[in-house]
Amino acid sequence: MGALCEATGAEVRAVAIAIGIDSRIGLKFLHAGPGCGGSCFQKENLNIVYLFRHFGLPDVADYWESGGDGEHLAAAPHGAHGSAEAVRNGDR
């Protein structure tokens, strides 16, 4: 989400607060954990992959499209956590 916030100019903390306020998500889901899932996971994953591609973050999109297994991350030239500017410029 940080890469998407950077690419769109959104303040990551404000986005996190907004996500935490949503009663369907809540504050307890704002920090990474050992796994995720649920009946809407595939749909939501496809939505976020679309947004990453739309905002010029193909490596981040590829990472999430692969299921986030780390294999794609290791193979990506600038990784899934590179800055949006570096991704756009091919610097990393």
Give me the pLDDT at residue 9, please: 94
Residue range 46-62, pLDDT digits in tens: 888 999 999 999 999 99
Contacts of 21 (CB under 8 A, 6+ apart): none
Give me the pLDDT at residue 45, please: 84
Tell me if 88 sits within 8 A of 79, measured CB to CB: no
Residue range 18-33, pLDDT digits in tens: 888 888 877 777 766 5
**Model confidence, pTM:** 0.51
Is 5 catalytic? The answer is no
Give me the pLDDT at residue 33, please: 58
Write out the two tokens for 52: 């990453």
Give me the residue spans of the domains in the chain: 2-89
Q: Residues 14, 17, 40, 74: which is the catalytic one?
A: 40
The pLDDT confidence band at residue 16, using thresholds 50, 70 and 90, is confident
